[in-house]
C-alpha cells in the first residue's frame, strides 16, 4: 500500500484507504443518527491485513470483530477539527469548524494475506448469521491492491459468498486500488478489458449487484447492466465512497 493510487505517487494508497474507511464509517454513523441517539441498524467490522490479519479497530474498540454503530459513534480514536468551506450566499466563502472522526490511521507494509483474511471474515460472518438467521445478509467490502501473497483467494472468496441468511446470500464486493495507470472501471459485467490478472481475479470474486442496488446506482448516475458486479478498479475516491455508501443503504431508510 506504499504505491501511489492510479499511478499518482503523490497519493499513497494507505492514506487513501484510511480516508475512504473513515468517511464510510462516518457516513454509516450519520445514517443511523436520530433525535434520541444512534439507532443500531448495523453492526460493523473492519479487518486489516498486512503484517497480520485481524480487527483493525484501536482504542476502546481494539480487538473487537464486530461493533454496534452506537459504539462506533462514541469511540473514534480522536475527533479532528477541520474547516468546512461553504457558499455564504453573498458571493463569499464561509469557513466553519467541524469535527471529523478518525478511527483509522494509514498503515502500510507487510504482505497481502488475502486468503487468510477472507477465511477470518467467513468465520466472523458465519457466527453472526447463526445469531441473526433472518436478517438482511451481510455485505463485505475487500479494499486491496489485488496481489494476494498467500495463494489464490478465489476459494476463500467463494466460501464467503456461499454464506446466507433467509433473506439472501452474503455479498462480497471488491475495491481494487492499483499502481496501474489504466482507466478507472466501475461495476463491469464482464472482465474483458480489465488491465491485469489481479483485476480479473478480483472481478471473478465479486458478487453480482442485487437489483435494488443497481437501481440506486442508476439514481446516482452510474450505468450498470444485468450481471454487473460489485467491483471497482482505481475508481475516484468519491465513486468509491458512494459505492460503499449505497451498498450499506438499507431499503427501509427513507
Partner 1 sequence: MVTRVSGFMAQKMGSTSDECEDAWEAPEHPTGTRDFRCAIADGASESSFAKIWARLLVQAYAGGNLCAGSPGAGLTPVRAQWASQVGGSRLPWYAEEKAHRGAYAALLGLHLTDVAEGIGGTWTGCAVGDCCLFLVRRNELHTCFPMDSSAEFSRRPTLISTHIDDTSVVPTVRSGIWHDDDMFLLMTDALAKWFLSCTERGDKPWRMLQDVEGDLFAMFISALRDDGTLQNDDVTLVRVVVAAGL
**Please, what is the minimum distance in Å from the beta carbon of residue 64 to partner 1?**
19
Q: Shortest approach of partner 1 to residue 90 CB, angstroms? A: 10
Q: How far is 79 from 82, CA to CA, in rounded Å? A: 9
- Cβ 252 to partner 1, closest distance in Å? 6
Cβ proximity to partner 1, 73 vs 163, nearer residue? 73
| Span between the terminal Cα atoms of the chain, in Å | 37
Distances (CA, A) of 29 to 115, 145, 251: 30, 27, 17
What does the DSSP 8-state code read for residue 25?
A: H
Cell of 157: 472468496
Measured from the CB atom, is 130 or 254 closer to partner 1?
254
Let me know: does 187 contact 222? Beta carbons within 8 Å: yes
Packing angle between helix 154-161 and helix 197-205, nearest 10 degrees? 20
Smallest distance from partner 1 to CB 84, Å: 8
Site residues (vs partner 1, CB under 8 A): 29-31, 33-36, 38-39, 73-74, 76, 79, 89, 98-99, 101, 219, 252-254
Spatial contact of 43 and 68, defined as CB atoms under 8 Å apart: yes
User: Among residues 41 and 204, whose Cβ is nearest to partner 1?
Assistant: 41
- Nearest distance, CB of residue 81 and partner 1, angstroms: 10
Q: Give 96's strand partners.
A: 84
Cβ proximity to partner 1: between 8 and 43 the closer is: 43
User: Cβ closer to partner 1: 100 or 126?
Assistant: 100
Q: Which is nearer to partner 1, 79 or 183 (CB)?
A: 79
Q: Which is nearer to partner 1, 84 or 162 (CB)?
A: 84
> Which contacts (CB < 8 Å, 24+ apart) does range 182-185 have?
182/233, 182/234, 183/234, 184/6, 184/232, 184/233, 184/234, 184/235, 184/236, 184/239, 185/231, 185/232, 185/233, 185/234, 185/235
Please state the closest distance from residue 216 (CB atom) to partner 1, in A.
11
CA distances from 152 to 6, 24, 155, 239 (A): 24, 28, 7, 28
Cα R_g (the chain), whole angstroms: 18
We find the least distance from the C-beta atom of residue 155 to partner 1, in angstroms, to be 38
Amino acid at each position: 500500500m506504499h504505491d501511489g493510487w492510479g499511478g499518482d505517487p503523490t497519493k499513497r494508497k494507505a492514506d487513501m484507504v484510511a480516508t475512504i474507511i473513515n468517511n464510510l464509517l462516518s457516513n454509516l454513523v450519520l445514517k443511523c443518527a436520530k433525535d434520541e441517539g444512534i439507532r443500531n441498524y448495523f453492526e460493523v467490522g473492519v479487518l486489516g491485513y498486512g503484517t497480520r490479519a485481524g480487527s483493525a479497530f484501536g482504542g476502546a474498540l481494539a480487538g473487537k470483530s464486530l461493533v454496534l454503530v452506537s459504539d462506533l459513534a462514541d469511540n473514534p480514536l480522536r475527533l479532528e477539527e477541520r474547516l468546512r468551506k461553504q457558499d455564504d450566499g453573498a458571493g463569499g466563502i464561509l469557513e466553519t469548524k467541524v469535527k471529523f472522526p478518525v478511527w483509522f490511521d494509514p498503515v502500510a507494509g507487510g504482505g497481502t494475506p488475502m486468503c487468510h483474511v477472507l477465511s477470518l471474515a467467513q468465520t466472523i460472518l458465519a457466527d453472526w448469521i447463526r445469531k441473526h438467521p433472518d436478517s438482511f445478509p451481510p455485505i463485505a467490502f475487500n479494499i486491496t491492491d489485488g496481489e494476494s501473497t498467500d495463494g489464490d483467494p478465489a476459494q476463500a472468496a467463494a466460501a464467503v459468498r456461499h454464506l446466507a441468511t433467509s433473506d439472501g446470500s452474503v455479498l462480497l464486493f471488491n475495491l481494487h486500488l492499483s499502481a496501474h495507470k489504466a482507466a478507472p472501471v466501475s461495476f463491469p459485467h464482464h472482465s474483458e478489458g480489465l488491465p491485469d490478472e489481479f483485476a480479473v481475479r478480483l472481478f471473478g470474486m465479486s458478487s453480482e449487484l442485487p437489483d435494488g442496488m443497481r437501481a440506486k446506482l442508476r439514481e446516482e448516475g452510474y450505468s450498470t447492466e444485468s450481471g454487473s458486479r460489485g467491483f471497482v478498479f482505481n475508481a475516484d475516491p468519491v465513486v468509491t465512497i458512494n459505492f460503499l455508501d449505497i451498498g450499506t443503504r438499507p431499503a427501509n431508510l427513507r
